[in-house]
Amino acid sequence: MSIRLSPRLRALADFIPAGAVPVDVGTDHAYLPVWLLQEGVCERAYATDLRPGPLARARAGAEEHGVAERLTLFLCDGLALCPPEAVDTVVLAGMGGETILGILDRSPWALDRRLVIQAQTKLPELRAALVERGLAIQDAALADDAGRLYLIWLVGRGPGDPEAAVDAPLLEKRDPLLKPWLAEQIKRASKQLHGLESARAVDGEAVAALRRELTRLRALQREVLQW
Ligand SMILES: C[S@@+](CC[C@H](N)C(=O)[O-])C[C@H]1O[C@@H](n2cnc3c(N)ncnc32)[C@H](O)[C@@H]1O
């Protein structure tokens, strides 16, 4: 039986072109690579996980759906055991921004592959770190998964704009989820600013940066509300 992907995983899959050979890092159930193999998007795929439990789930899922021979699984940190020459696409999803960056820094060959990234935390910091490493966000998508919004990036070599916002490609595409996304970002930044301003030792630089970000988000929100 075919598996049904959640909207978040489906948005990741949409950035993987037919014929790609992906590795899904931190795969857990391996839903994404199993779906890509079942649907014929990919002939072969790789997946890794740090922990034996998730990797056992991945193996069971691949066997159940008849794709085990085409999915190679590695129990390892990040891309440690993945042969660089075997893959052209690296998927890093459902993990924190720092974890994702650590994985890329421990396997710098991955910076020369197509990267499909969905970070759970630290999006601005991760975007800045990717740009520092010579990468650019080439496209982005939002997914609404059970009422929660997720931002997905397609990343590749290119001159990234260090000042560009994490959501810049969505504005160009007039993504309808940009409105609720901005409302969520404004709420989060306002709460963070309140916390910083009421701290005993106020970090002036952090407060100024967050105020600038809030001004940017509100201006963007005004623009989007005109659509
Ligand atoms: C929340 S799940 C995400 C699963 C899937 N990628 C997704 O987006 O639905 C995170 C998975 O990443 C794995 N993980 C965390 N750090 C890792 C690392 N450094 N290397 C490989 N896997 C890791 C965890 O064991 C867990 O199975």
What is 43-107 written as a DSSP string?
S-EEEEESSHHHHHHHHHHHHHTT-GGGEEEEESSTTTTS-GGG-SEEEEEEE-HHHHHHHHHHS
- Residue after which a domain boundary falls, among 149, 168, 187: 168
Q: Determine the angle formed by the axes of helices 204-225 and 178-197, rounding to 10 degrees.
A: 160
Residues 147 and 51 in one domain: yes
In a domain, 34, yes or no: yes
Q: How many angstroms is it from 27 CA to the middle of ligand 1?
A: 6
Q: How many angstroms is it from 181 CA to the middle of ligand 1?
A: 24
- Residue after which a domain boundary falls, among 168, 198, 214: 168
Residues 94 and 33 in one domain: yes
d(CA 73, CA 63): 12
User: pTM for the full model?
Assistant: 0.93
Token duo for residue 75: 């129990």
Ligand 1 atom showing the smallest separation from residue 51 Cα? 25
**Pick the residue with more confidence: 204 or 42?**
42
**Position 37 confidence tier, pLDDT thresholds 50, 70, 90:** very high
Q: How many angstroms is it from 213 CA to the middle of ligand 1?
A: 30
In a domain, 113, yes or no: yes
Residues 205 and 106 in one domain: no
Total structural domains in the chain?
2
Q: How many angstroms is it from 93 CA to the middle of ligand 1?
A: 7
- Ligand 1 atom 23: residue of nearest CA: 26
Residues 62 and 140 in one domain: yes
pLDDT of residue 159: 80
Residues 142 and 186 in one domain: no
Residue-wise pLDDT tens digits, 55-88:
999 999 999 999 999 999 999 999 999 999 999 9
Rounded mean pLDDT, 210-214: 90
Q: What is the CATH number of the domain that holds 134?
A: 3.40.50.150
Task: Say if ligand 1 is within 6 A of residue 61 CB.
Answer: no
Residues 130 and 202 in one domain: no
Residue-wise pLDDT tens digits, 175-194:
999 999 999 999 999 999 99
Residues 203 and 148 in one domain: no
Rounded mean pLDDT, 163-185: 85
In a domain, 2, yes or no: no
Task: Say if ligand 1 is within 6 A of residue 94 CB.
Answer: yes
Task: Say if ligand 1 is within 6 A of residue 33 CB.
Answer: no
In a domain, 137, yes or no: yes
pLDDT of residue 1: 74
Residues 62 and 91 in one domain: yes
- Residue after which a domain boundary falls, among 120, 136, 168: 168
pLDDT of residue 169: 83
Task: Say if ligand 1 is within 6 A of residue 48 CB.
Answer: yes
Q: How many angstroms is it from 56 CA to the middle of ligand 1?
A: 13
pLDDT of residue 165: 67
Does the pLDDT value for residue 44 go beyond 90? yes
Residues 110 and 47 in one domain: yes
Which residue range is the domain that position 19 belongs to? 7-168
Residue found under tokens 């079942």: 38
Residues 130 and 206 in one domain: no
**Position 201 confidence tier, pLDDT thresholds 50, 70, 90:** confident
In sequence order, which residues have a C-beta less than 8 Å from that of residue 203 and are 6 or more positions away? 196
In a domain, 1, yes or no: no
Residues 144 and 187 in one domain: no
Residues 21 and 51 in one domain: yes
Residue-wise pLDDT tens digits, 126-140:
998 999 999 999 999
Task: Say if ligand 1 is within 6 A of residue 51 CB.
Answer: yes
Ligand 1 atom showing the smallest separation from residue 93 Cα? 8
Which has the minimum average pLDDT: 11-15, 40-44, 121-125? 121-125
Residue to mutate, 10, 16, 51, ligand 1, most ligand atoms under 8 Å from C-beta: 51
Which has the minimum average pLDDT: 96-100, 125-129, 151-155, 166-170? 166-170
